[in-house]
Structure 1
Amino acid sequence: MAFNEYGRIEQLAIRPAQAAFRDQAKATAEWQDLRFHAEPDVEEAFREYETLLSIYENAGISLHKLPADNSLTLDAIYVRDAAIISPNGLILCNMGRESRNNEPAIHGEILASKGINVLGRIEAPGKVEGGDFIWLNEKAAAVGLGPRTNEEGIRQLHGLLGEDVDLHVVPLPAPDHPDDVFHLMSMISPVDADLAVIYRPLMPQSFLDWLDGHGLGYVEVPEEEFLPMGCNVLAIAPREVVMLDRLPETKRRLEAAGCKVHVYKGDEISRKGEGGPTCLTRPLVRSA
């Protein structure tokens, strides 16, 4: 079992659009408070999600489909944020957005019933969201310090990961609105042991130096494809990735770097809620 963001995914937790969005009335009631860019078309969201499922299924990934729950919002489709996988088990997060705080306990209960060990939980006043965390390898990880993950949360996270893990803290830029989100994975997605997709202009030099020290090379996202989530790339195996459609230059650069690229239309499930393929998934087991 590998702890990185690029090994072949064997088990994956998801919450399908049917379970998260449920029906048009729910989308109508919630989208503005959650600061979606527009109201999702729920039936189209279901069709978009089926495309994603076919990519995972064709890759032979075992899927843990998390169910609907009346306490969850539309944001629950973005399952990455509620938990972090570690060598000693699942770490349940304490979410930076209060409306999402029911998600970690629900994830923990369901995944524990499937035989996945729950190591612990980030407790208030600590806050951590899974989109702010990446593994480079089992001894090195990075965490974003920003609006959704605070210093106390990082202290608790490091305690759960153990002193053997080099946890590099990355200061993140503030979003335009306090309820908006800018996660660490908004500007980096590792896709192989020596390759990551990045948006260089927002990355602190100290973080780039740390990545350079681990031998990382880069596929750089152009400015015009950053806001449309060009950095949000899910590796399902080394140099085999899933990304949003209509990002032609990032796709070209990935392919030039030897990557096999799968694309999906994500207008309803990704673009309106600003959650790309990494956000929509919680990899649980990657092969070594």
Structure 2
Amino acid sequence: MKPWGAQSEVGKIEKIMVKRAEDAYGSQEVLDSCWRDLGYTERVNYSKAMDEYDAFLSVIKSHVPEVFCLPSQEGTGPDSMYARDSCMVTDKGYVLFNMGKPQRRTEATEAGRLFDSIGLPRLGAIEGEGTMEAGDMAWLDESTLAVGISYRTNPEGVRQLRDLAAGNFEVLDYPIPHWNGPEECLHLMSFISPVDHKAAVVYSRQMPVTFRQELLHRGYNLIEVPDQEYDTMACNVLALEPGLVLMIEGNPITKGRLQEAGMEVLEFPGTEICWKGGGGPTCLTRPLLRK
């Protein structure tokens, strides 16, 4: 089996990178000083967040053989807990991103240090005028990557990624709606989470028509999130393996629809670590190897 590579959103996760809440948040005082500037919806309760993250990490460790934890790092903040966004891991090596949110620009360097220390090869980086965040991308299959052009990921970033992807995978790009504007993060994965090779949880009201048509053309079963569960992040679902998914508690309609589609559903509490900061289980994880 290959040692690294995650050109899939649904293959069984064998290796993963996370950053524990305690190492991202630092303390209640740190959270109190910056949650408004970061665009969080409410003040995060540090103690409750620790309990929630422990529950989340317990599920991850029970299903993933190797878990790598990013250390506490000066210069990164609470957003660094959302370990997915600063990088990607292809079959050819890792790519570091120049993130569109200014407060997160140092996170890619932190991820690169960890990757180098564990022997993961480097493919390249998005640099200069290019911006990119991994929340704006989803693998449709092992050779096709969908990327959203948003307030966080720009056309120059996509151009650079296409250069890096040459001969390895195809990049399809789609415009992301304005929605509530640049102050509220809307990524491509705000409205889609693949949960099996031909199935995805979606919020179609936000989807570019051409993207939705591409999924249907590929034979995807689209499991719709109801309006009342969009704000509670029912669309953010992590596939631990095909048909086994992890989602935030409090979304019973979407959970039921996943189960009706044949999925096994695991849950964790995410009021503090997910809802307030705008990042669910996919955001909290960076798979390094999917089988």
TM class by smaller structure: over 0.9
Written as runs of structure 1 = structure 2, the 5 A alignment for 1:178-217 is 178-217=182-221
1:40 aligns with 2:77: no
Give the distance between the partners of 1:164 and 1:74, measured in 2 at CA.
Answer: 34
- Of 55, 62, 84 in structure 2, the residue corresponding to residue 51 of structure 1 is 55
Normalising by structure 1, report the TM-score: 0.97
Kept after mapping to 1: 8 A contact 2:15/2:64:
no
Q: CA deviation at 1:177?
A: 3.8
Give the distance between the partners of 1:153 and 1:139, measured in 2 at CA.
Answer: 19
- Partner SS for 1:261: strand
Q: CA deviation at 1:178?
A: 2.2
| Count of aligned pairs | 287
Q: CA deviation at 1:215?
A: 1.8
- Of 256, 261, 267 in structure 2, the residue corresponding to residue 263 of structure 1 is 267
- Partner SS for 1:37: coil
Written as runs of structure 1 = structure 2, the 5 A alignment for 1:95-110 is 95-110=99-114
Give the distance between the partners of 2:67 and 2:139, measured in 1 at CA.
Answer: 21
Give the distance between the partners of 1:211 and 1:225, measured in 2 at CA.
Answer: 22
Give the gaps of 5 or more residues in structure 2. Answer: none
Which amino acid is 1:121 matched to? A
Q: CA deviation at 1:37?
A: 1.0
Kept after mapping to 2: 8 A contact 1:97/1:179:
no
Which amino acid is 2:147 matched to? V
Indicate how the Cα distance of structure 1 residues 178 and 104 shifts in structure 2: closer, same or farther if over 3 A, else same. same
Give the gaps of 5 or more residues in structure 1. Answer: none
Written as runs of structure 1 = structure 2, the 5 A alignment for 1:203-282 is 203-282=207-286
CA deviations over 1:200-230 (Å, ceiling 9, x no partner): 1111221112112222111111111112111
Q: Percent identity?
A: 39
Give the distance between the partners of 2:26 and 2:120, measured in 1 at CA.
Answer: 27
Kept after mapping to 2: 8 A contact 1:239/1:258:
yes
Give the distance between the partners of 2:110 and 2:64, measured in 1 at CA.
Answer: 26
- Partner SS for 2:247: strand
Q: CA deviation at 1:179?
A: 2.7
Normalising by structure 2, report the TM-score: 0.96
The residue number in structure 2 matching 1:176 is 180
Q: CA deviation at 1:164?
A: 4.9
Give the distance between the partners of 1:9 and 1:149, measured in 2 at CA.
Answer: 26
